[in-house]
Structure 1
Amino acid sequence: MSGVRPARGTETTLIVAEDETMVRAAVVAVLDAEENLRVVGEAAGGEAAVELAVSLRPDVALLDIRMPCLDGLAATARILAEVPGTRVIVLTSFGLDDYVFGALRAGAAGFLLKDSTPERIIDAVHVVSAGDALLDPALTRRLIGHLLTMAPRPARTEELGVLTPREREVLAHVARGLSNGEIGARLGLSPSTVKGHVATIIAKLGVRDRVQAAVVACETGLVGRGAGSDGELT
């Protein structure tokens, strides 16, 4: 099942792909009720979601991680390859699993639990459509915990050598899911200064966004147990 609706003016356009009809309807209702957001297409499967993304080129695609025909991981990779201007948010009711980590590595801008509040979903869309990336706070600690069970990759550890001590400090906080404002408050920096550091970190590491940078921080051991205050799971 898929559906297409016309966009209105210059709003942020979205598609929603979710195989559970009631869940999809609820998410669409939340988004369409927000000024300047417009759901232009709905899909019940991954293949249909890719087709909608290619034809409609929405600003943001919200994808369920587990769908028939094509799962959210494969759909994310295809959408980002064929419509690089579209940002992807993964929706999951399963918490963290290999599908979610795969979606992040495929380039998803972030992920949310399906039981997130309407305000959280709307905020996530605004954050992602503005070019930033988002980790649901409820999942950030578990994300770090999972990645800490994986051995650091030597090649990525070497990659951290391009960062200054301050940039490593900022990256450690990014890996905890803190916003620029929260990082600034902890380090005595303005949000705009933190934003500049984050942009430099992303460029130096050659990653897509702050979510990918957080993954690098965890995989290389920059954030980890026994690493001092920068590595505490808070």
Structure 2
Amino acid sequence: MEWRDEGILLGLRKHGETSVIAEVMTRSHGRHMGIIRGGRSRRMQPVLQPGNSVSLVWRARLDEHLGQYQVEPLVARAGRLMESAIGVHGVQAMAALLRLLPERDSHQRLHDAFAIILDSFDDPALAGSMYVRFELAVLEDLGFGLDLTRCAATGSRDRLIFVSPKSGRAVSADAGAAWADKLLALPSFLHSGDAASDTAEGLAAAFALTGYFLRRHVFEPRGLPEPAARAGLETAVQRQLGAKPASDRDNRTTPEDENL
């Protein structure tokens, strides 16, 4: 068995005295493991860093075997990522999300978004907003996508300012007025088409929104803690924006109206 692909390194672990097992988010073959012979050498260490993009050749006798990688560098971004808290926490947080996906399942959209976001960490507002959209994409690929395009109660696309914690659907200002203290805030940039939140408060609300559904549908059912890198990323982004992260709203109860 043999295939060629490109991917982004997620992590490594030692294998024997000189080799490593590399975990790579490949473009066409999903999250995939493989042994790299001599991966602990001085020549390979700068290449084999989380966040770097590499060209891969994978070989194994059978498809279900771990197999071996031959690796060549494509984009060396790890050094730049390690220079900032946003970069350090960001690559770790996204790697943790990608590990929620079944191994060897292709998710080309997530691979491509991963690369774009890693190259955008110099802009705190853009980085935080793109990361939240990445979480929304992961939720969708896991089968828990949110509908933020129209009101759950009326079907309207106007004045969408809430999200129902029960259904994961948007709710308009008028329809949600009676349950305002029980609904999650919907930052405008997540449905308006804006690239990034224009306020620190909007970004904090976005982290609270996706965090709620990740805990409800993914982390808690699997008995997993929320990755510390996620909170670290939010804190680093908010500090760069000159604000403190807003408190989470996951203690809110679910609306009783079954239409929301």
Q: TM-score of the superposition, structure 2-length normalised?
A: 0.29
More strand by share: 2
Q: Which has the larger radius of gyration?
A: 2
More helix by share: 1
